């Protein structure tokens, strides 16, 4: 009779490209911890914010996850709050291209 193999439950670190933007790294970390949040994280990343805005929205969103009832758990609210720190960048362009 075969002996069942025990599988490790250790989480592996997310694979992040070497030249990834800080917001992409934070997004990968959030998704790595909570895969169910992928649609919310993608919504933030695709909101047309520059790097500073993306970092602000992701940080607000991530911090809200640890406090029940925090309105920043809603990615739309985190995006709107982040617009105050960053100028919106047209969807499909990069912040560098708009300078």
pLDDT per position as a tens digit, 13-64: 666 777 889 999 999 999 999 999 999 999 999 999 999 999 999 999 999 9
Element (H or E) spanning 39, and its range? helix 38-45
Residue 74 included in any domain:
yes
Span 62-77, pLDDT tens digits: 999 999 999 999 999 9
Q: Which domain holds residue 53?
A: 22-82
Domains identified in the chain, total number: 1
- Residue 91 belongs to a domain: no
Would you state the pLDDT for residue 29? 94
Q: How far is CA 79 from the centre of its chain?
A: 11
Please check whether residue 30 lies inside any domain of the structure: yes
Tell me the pTM. Answer: 0.73
Residue 85 has what pLDDT? 84
Residue 32 lies in a domain: yes
**Residue 18: per-residue pLDDT:** 77
Tell me if 11 is assigned to some domain: no
Under 8 Å between Cβ of 80 and 48: no
CA 60 – CA 17 distance, rounded (Å): 24
Tokens of 80: 């709107």
User: 4: which DSSP letter?
Assistant: P
Q: Is residue 50 included in any domain, yes or no?
A: yes
């Amino acid at each position: 009779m075969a002996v069942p193999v025990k599988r490790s439950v250790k989480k592996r670190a997310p694979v992040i490209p070497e030249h990834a933007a800080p917001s992409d790294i934070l997004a990968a970390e959030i998704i790595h911890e909570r895969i169910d949040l992928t649609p919310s994280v993608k919504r933030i990343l695709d909101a047309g914010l520059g790097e500073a805005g993306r970092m602000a929205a992701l940080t607000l969103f991530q911090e809200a996850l640890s406090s029940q009832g925090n309105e920043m758990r809603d990615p739309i609210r985190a995006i709107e709050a982040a617009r105050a720190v960053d100028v919106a960048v047209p969807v499909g362009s990069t912040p560098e291209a708009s300078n």
